[in-house]
Amino acid sequence: MGRDMSMEVRVEAFDALGKINVVSEDILLQTLSKRVLAITKEKRSLGQCPAEQFEILASNVAGVLVHGLEDEFYEVRKSACHSLRALTIISAEFAGEALNLLMDVLNDDSMFVRLEALETMLHMATFGHLNVQGTHMHMFLGTLLDSNLLIRSATRKILKLVKLSNIELFRLSFDSLIENLEKHPQDEADIFSVLFHTGCNHGKFVVSIINEASEEIDQASEGKLGFDSARVAALLVLAISAPLSHGEHVCSIPPRIFSYAVTLLGRISRALTDIMDQNALLAYLSQCSISTTFSATDLNIRRGEPCLPVANIEIPNDTSNEIDGSTRTSLQQEKDGASKLQSWTMREPLELAAPLGGFQVEVHDEVMKPINLILAKVKDIWPSIHSGFTNEVLRTLRNLKEELATFTSDSVGTIGAVAFTLQYLQVIKQLAKVWEHFLPAKKLCSSGLGELDLILGKLDMRLRELRSRFTGLSMEQELQILELVLLTCTLRLCKVEICCHFATLKKLSTTVSRVESILKSATIEPTIFISEVGKLLCLNETSRSEASCNPFKFKELLKHFSLSQFVLCGRLNQIKAELTIPDNDSENPLPFVSRLPVGIPCDITLHNTSNENKLWLRMSMDDESTQFVFLDLNLFGSSDEVRKFTYVAPFYKTPNAISFTLRVCIGMECLFEGVLSVKKYGGPERELTYLCQEKEVHLSMIGEH
């Protein structure tokens, strides 16, 4: 079937091949060779199976995977790569032979095939079956310079897992990551993360490299080079990982190096959100900067739990710098005894105990941990958004939403975290839809710009809800939301055809002011994107010329944006409302007299509101005429978590009709928004975010009731 004339049949055949659970290792090896192997001939001669049966079986499977990987259609090659993913777990020897073929696949013309090959290698590494030889390294590391973000990201995931057996290989990997950083600065956070995890797995090599480069780092601290140098920044990230190495040797990184790393605190902390937050990182660097010598044992790190599972990489004739006791990957056992791949995202944070002066990485409760894993997966789909795989992204977001819906904790803080995460998924969904309009290959139809404006409006609305409806966010979390607001404004300003540039520039300026306030008070280092937006805005305000508002300059900013991982910690409260109209439906309408006011009885429950919140009752008719009624919260009790009251809202615009329907809901002013140029019928001064679903109120004229 793998050689069938139909491309679709060949794809299905390789898909089915990848689902095989039990198979002889000899047969597996035969699929990688077009000629019958000597070992299988020997087993035939020993009578382990009937000769005729063996010859038929061997001829049928001989080289089938090779043919698949060489197929003229990329769909077949991709399917063959995918089938290797499961088969390499069955046999380590088969995995080693298959790796030779996968290295050749890294030169495939199709990005989809190259990506599938890397995903297969990642799967092999997770199970400890990735044994890359030194002759492979140049070809493998070359993918770090691929023009496609997905390819580079997949390669870096593999590097997090590998165990390098020789310092020369370690240097080669380090230099390749530096080249990746210099060519694609938007990858910085992910590259820093790889360097840190790699350093944790290779402490001895890190100490050697840092001691050799200490003079270079010192020169940077004196302003001769500057920490903006990609190489120096990477060396600092590598250096601070050494104390967390699981080796027994004493770490001898000079303490001053850790002081230098504090100057990159914001950039490094964004890369290490899977391990520690910014406060924890600062405490760690401070402790290390005053120590002379220390080891992993002194720091009381949990032994036997590396930052990530590791796989071996070896070079031929290796006689020095060999690593003893290489750590193998662990398999999480399911109840039925089958081995289940433990997701690379499900890694435990490192815990630093009492010797660090009370510093300990926060461990989330049983619900917050999976929520943060979902948020980590959201960050991982950014390369797909950036490359325009919108359908795949939307499918992933739907799956994450379904996964989130299974959380049933009754904890108030957890309920808020779940609601926040759902809202965040909606933001990313709209962002993915917007982003595809800015890809070079996107061809907009006549209604495309109207569609883009509509999606941008939805994105604005979702971000308003994130900013206004949740309390308990840290400054760093608020900064991440504000960065998305800046991105939305930038996307609007990229399109000449979209109107309201003045209003967007005003919003951009207001948001930048709030960002600067946070950066100043929280001593957080801005992302490259935030810095570049600030520079361009400053240029606009200085020149105030049409040239400075050139959409192409704003479009240039997009290449600096990369989605940061959102990490929830502490308690989040959601501001929400419940609204009911008692004893009212189409069969029991409220009576009214045409042209006279009518009272609308409302049973209202408010959650987590304060008297500073400005709430409005919005009442709209089918003809889109709207009336707002202000809800003075000082009249309805104290600022408790939950407060209930009944309010009769006057509606003045009763029509000359036998019956009509009102749509009623509760909205809250977004105090961070600018004042509206035209107030809505004496209503709110700023944009509203709505706290509940609209309720229909049925009314019927007296006499007709």
Q: Is the pLDDT of residue 258 over 50?
A: yes
Choose the most confident range, by mean pLDDT, from 137-146, 243-252, 311-320: 137-146
Task: Over range 9-34, report the average pLDDT.
Answer: 78
- Answer with the residue of higher pLDDT: 547 or 378: 378
- DSSP helix/strand/coil, 615: strand
- Sequence-ordered list of residues with C-beta below 8 angstroms from that of 120, at least 6 positions apart, any chain: 81, 82, 84, 85, 88, 102
- Answer with the residue of higher pLDDT: 407 or 317: 407
CB 15 within 8 A of CB 78: no
Q: Is the pLDDT of residue 646 over 60?
A: yes
CB 617 within 8 A of CB 664: yes
Query: Residue 391: what pLDDT?
Result: 86
Instruction: Give, to the nearest 10 degrees, the angle between helix 448-468 and helix 412-435.
Output: 160
Region of 595 (left: φ > 0; alpha: ψ -120 to 50; beta: rest) is: left
Residue type for 597, please? P
Query: Residue 321: what pLDDT?
Result: 34
Helix, strand, coil distribution of the chain in percent, nearest 5: 50, 10, 35
Query: Residue 334: what pLDDT?
Result: 36
Q: Which stretch of 47-51, 93-97, 105-109 has the lowest confidence by average pLDDT?
A: 47-51
CB 531 within 8 A of CB 587: no
Query: Residue 595: what pLDDT?
Result: 86
Residue showing tokens 């380090």: 174
Give me 85's structure tokens. 């993913």
Choose the most confident range, by mean pLDDT, from 28-37, 276-285, 301-310, 605-614: 605-614
Task: Over range 634-639, report the average pLDDT.
Answer: 76
Region of 269 (left: φ > 0; alpha: ψ -120 to 50; beta: rest) is: alpha
pLDDT category of residue 36 using cuts at 50, 70 and 90: low
Q: Taking the model in full, what pTM does it have?
A: 0.58
Residue type for 630, please? F
pLDDT category of residue 118 using cuts at 50, 70 and 90: very high
Mean pLDDT score of the chain = 78
The string of pLDDT tens digits covering residues 350-399 is 333 333 333 333 334 566 778 888 898 898 888 889 888 888 889 889 98
Query: Residue 689: what pLDDT?
Result: 92
CB 326 within 8 A of CB 395: no
pLDDT category of residue 462 using cuts at 50, 70 and 90: very high
Task: Over range 616-630, report the average pLDDT.
Answer: 88
Determine the Cα–Cα distance for residues 493 and 394; give it in Å rounded to an integer. 25
- Answer with the residue of higher pLDDT: 448 or 66: 66
Strand partners, 44: none
- Sequence-ordered list of residues with C-beta below 8 angstroms from that of 39, at least 6 positions apart, any chain: 26, 29
Q: Is 144 exposed, middle or buried (0-12, 13-18, 19+ CB in 10 A)?
A: buried
The pairing of beta strand 590-592 with beta strand 626-631:
unpaired
What percent of the chain is modeled with pLDDT above 90? Answer: 24
Query: Residue 348: what pLDDT?
Result: 36
Task: Over range 48-54, report the average pLDDT.
Answer: 53
Q: Is the pLDDT of residue 341 over 60?
A: no
pLDDT category of residue 57 using cuts at 50, 70 and 90: low
CB 482 within 8 A of CB 510: no
The string of DSSP codes covering 283-312 is HHHHHHHT-SSB-TTTTTPPTT--SS--EE
Determine the Cα–Cα distance for residues 308 and 314; give it in Å rounded to an integer. 19
Query: Residue 291: what pLDDT?
Result: 64
pLDDT category of residue 281 using cuts at 50, 70 and 90: confident
The gap from C-alpha 413 to its chain's centroid, in whole angstroms, comes to 22
Residue showing tokens 């104390």: 243
Determine the Cα–Cα distance for residues 534 and 530; give it in Å rounded to an integer. 6
Give me 260's structure tokens. 């230098």
Determine the Cα–Cα distance for residues 705 and 699; give it in Å rounded to an integer. 9
Choose the most confident range, by mean pLDDT, from 176-185, 274-283, 405-414: 176-185
For residue 125, give Cα distances in angstroms to 84, 327, 341, 577, 704: 13, 12, 11, 49, 76
Query: Residue 15: what pLDDT?
Result: 83
